[in-house]
Structure 1
C-alpha cells in the first residue's frame, strides 16, 4: 500500500565539505514523502503534493517532527551488546579481559539469536536502519544475525570474524576454515533480500598473512562483497602490528599486500595513520569508520577528520558497540563534535547529519539505494520528535534556524528522540508512550 508522510523533512544531496552550501541539502518545513512498494516515489512541499494524492493513499501526519533518512552505522559489534560499559582500560587489555570471553558464548546459535534480536531492537530504537556489523569467529553467529535481520527486511551488512592467532583457543579458526566458512555464508546470505556480506578479518593482530591472503581470495572470487577490519586505533596496537609484520612498510600495507583495500572496504578508527597511509586509502577508495565514543572510552586518541577530508577519503560514523557506550548516532555526533573540538577542528551540524545519513551510505557504497530520499531509493527513515523531552522541546523553540535545531539535536538527542523507525516503508519501531 502506498503511504504519504507529512512532517518537516530534511535530506542531504552532497558532502558539505565538498560542494557549495546551496547544493548540500533539501529542507521542507512542511514536507511530504510518498512511498510506494517500499521505495520513495515523490518528495516535496506538502501544499504542492497533497492535491495530487490518489484517494487510496494513506496520509500519515507527524506533527512537530523532523523526518530524516535512516541512520547508517559503519562499525559495530553485535556480540558485544551485553558487555557495553565494561570498565574500560585500554584496547588490548580490554579485548582480553572482556571481549573474548563474551564472544565465546556465540558458539551457541540460540544464544546468538537472542542477542541478535536484542541488538536489532536497540539499533532500531536509536533510528539506525543500516549497519556494518561484526559477528564472532563462529559461523553460526552470522546465521543467527542474518536470520533476525531477514525477518524484518533490514538492509544490513555483516560477516564472521576471521582469527587464527593471538586469541583464546576457543575463538580461533584457521586460514582454510575461515575461508570455507566465509564462502558458505556468502553463498547463503549475500544479496538475500536486503542483506550483504562483509569479509571480516578482525584485525592484523589476530590474522596471519595466510589468513589475510585467504580474505583477499574471497574478495577476488566475490568482488561485490565488503571487507571490514580495524586499523591504527591505539598507539600500542600500531607498535604491536609493526612487530608482527616487519616485512610490511606500515599497518595499512598489511591489508594492502593481501588485496584487501577497495571501494567496499571499510577500516575502523584510523586515528594514528601516517600520511602515506592516508594517500593509499584515497587512491584505493577505502573508507574509514570514525568511532568517537569508543575512542574516548578506551582513551585511544582523537580522529583527524580534516585529514580524511583533505585526502578525500570517505568517512562514516560508527558507534563501535561495545567499546562505544550508546547505540544512538545522535549521541555519537555529540562525541564527534567534542573530539574535533579537542583537535582544534570544527564539525558543523550539517556535516554531522550528512555523516549519519548519506555520508555513511556513501562510505558503504550504498548511496544509490539509501542515504537520502532520491526517487526510487529504499524508504528507510526516522521520525524525530521535537518535543521528546520537556527540555529539548524548550531548547528547540529558542532556535532561530535549521542549523541551530540540528546542533541542539546532536548535543541533546538520543534514542528518546526517535518516535518511529521505518525500513523499506514499513514501521519497525514505535516508541512506547
Structure 2
C-alpha cells in the first residue's frame, strides 16, 4: 500500500454503537435496582409489618369483689392480657409478655419498640368504677399505659402509637361491655320490685371504662433530630469511607502515572511509576487511615458545633475511624481486583442495597422480609446499630455496639485479606498495570 493510499484511508472508529449504548444500559439497570430497593421498602410499611416487637407487662394483683362472705377473687389484668394476645395478629406483632424489669432492659437496649403496662391496681380500680358508676362519690378510671421508645426512631414510634390506639381501643370496648353487663346483673331487682335503669351518663362511663395514657420511655434530648441523627451520622461514615476511597484511589493512580489527570483545559499524564500492585494498595490504605482519623474528628466537631448531643465522644470517634477504615479498605480492594467495574460493585453493596436495609428510617420489621436478610450482612445496618447505641443508648453493648464493632472488624479483615491476596496474585503472574499496545490490538 502506498503512502497516498494510506493517507486516504478513513480513520478508524473508536466509538462503536455498542460502546455508546453500553453505559446507558448499565445506568438504566442500576436505576431500576435503585428504584425497586428504595420504593419497595417505603411504599406500604403496614402491609410489610412482621415480627414488630412490643412488650406486654401485667402487674395486676387482682381484687376481691362481692358482698361480705361471698367474695370472689378476680384479675381483670389477666383477662386484658389474654384478650390482647388473642386480638393482636401474631404475623405482624411480636407481643412479648415480660416482667417490668425485663421490659425496661429491652426498652433500654432497643430490643422492643414499645411497652403496654397494666398497673397493679387495675382490677381494684375497675371494681370501684363498677360500683361507683351507680353510687355517689368521686371515682377515677383505671389506667393502661403505652410507653413508646423514641430512641428507636420516629417511624417505629409512629407504628407503636398506631398499634396501641387500635389494640387498646378494642380492649376498652370489650372491657366496657363486660363491666356494663356486670353492673346490670348487680342491679337486677328482686321479684316484684321495680327495675333500676342505668342513666345515660353511667352507660357512657361504662362503655369506655379505661384511660389509655401514652408516654415516652427515656425521651431523646434536644438536637437528636427525632431519632434520625444516628442514621445520618452512620450514612456520613459509610459514604465518606466509600467515596473517600474512590477519590484516593483515583488521585494516587494519577500521581503514579496509571491514570491521566485533567484540570479544566489542562491534561497531565505522568510517567508510569515502577511500583507493584501490592505497594500501590498499601499506599492507598495508609492514606485512607489518615483520612479516617481526620474525618471522624471533623464529623464530631461539626456535630458538637450544631448542638448534637454526644455523651461518649471518644467511643464515637474511635468507632467512626474503624468504620471509615473498614469501608475504605474494602472499596479499594474491590477496585484493585476488578478495576473500573469496582465503582459499580461498591455502589451496589454500600448504597443501593445498604441504605434501605439499614433500619435507620423505616424499621426492618416494617419492610419486605428480604430486607431483613440483607440486614444480616449489609454494612449500613451494622454501622447504624453501632452508631445508634453510642448516641442514644450510652454505648450499651446489647443495643448494637457489639455487633457493630465486630462486623466492622470482620469487614476490615475480609477487605484486607482479599486486597492483599488479589494484588499479590496479579504481581506474581506479571500482570503489570500498563496500557495495551493499541496497534497490536487493532491488528488482532
TM-score, normalization: structure 2? 0.24
Q: Which structure has the higher relative contact order (CA within 8 Å, separation 6+)?
A: 1
**Larger strand proportion of the pair:** 1
**Larger helix proportion of the pair:** 2
TM-score, normalization: structure 1? 0.24
